[in-house]
Amino acid sequence: MLRRIILFPLLIFTLLSCIFAACSGKKEELLSLSDPKKLPQIATYGITTLISDSGIVRYRINTDEWLMYPNDGQPYWYFPKGAYVEQLDSTAKAQLYVKCDTAYFYEIKQLWWLIGNVHIEMLDGQKKYDLDDLFWDQRKGKIYSDKSARTEQNGIVMYGVGFDMEQSMKKGVIRRIKGTFPLDETPSDTLRMKPASNTLHSTPRDTLKK
């Protein structure tokens, strides 16, 4: 009987310890989620907005989700569901469009990073570009990628690695061409673009360190 009396308090103590440990773990998780550095300051859904340059509206952005993070002096925008961007002429008519699976915009560096199935197309149908990812440095006026790229122009398809484009987006060049084919003879494998990671805390390794 004495043994049962001794074991019962030990059992209660063990159970209480386990419950306390479990609660402590949940508390730490909640505290980490409440960290303002990990939460967006602003979250907007289903939005269309215009971006101007020198007082002239140049771009129209459509996105299903737009999150803005403070990120310790390196604020950035995050588009987890991708973005659709139109370049407009002086009459606000769309000239081309760019779309992607995921996008980031680093405010201080004025740097866009488009990730996964990046597609650029002139609305006259003459030129199309497909890339794994794309950087657009607005401050330096550079558009570029170091990954796989594919172009389609005048019935000819070229694919390779590395890509550079004018800020006007009127002309793009593949750096290292791997192959050139007439459009109707293009191997199906060259049309497959592998989606890149869209992890929230991913950052361009080299570009953001400058």
Tell me which residue range forms the domain holding 133: 37-198
What's the pLDDT score for residue 103?
A: 97
What's the pLDDT score for residue 35?
A: 62
Tokens linked to 43: 């979250």
What's the CATH code of the domain at 69?
Answer: 2.60.450.10
pTM of the full structure: 0.69
Q: Is residue 83 part of a domain?
A: yes
What's the pLDDT score for residue 34?
A: 54
Q: Is residue 15 part of a domain?
A: no
CA angle 42-132-70, nearest 5°? 20
What's the pLDDT score for residue 186?
A: 53
**Residue ranges of the chain with pLDDT lower than 50?**
1-33, 189-210
Q: Is residue 135 part of a domain?
A: yes
Q: Is residue 124 part of a domain?
A: yes
Q: Is residue 70 part of a domain?
A: yes
What's the pLDDT score for residue 61?
A: 93
Q: In this structure, is the dihedral angle defined by the CA atoms of residues 51, 175, 115 and 111, taken in order, positive or negative?
A: negative
Domain tally, the chain: 1
Q: Is residue 42 part of a domain?
A: yes
Q: Is residue 4 part of a domain?
A: no
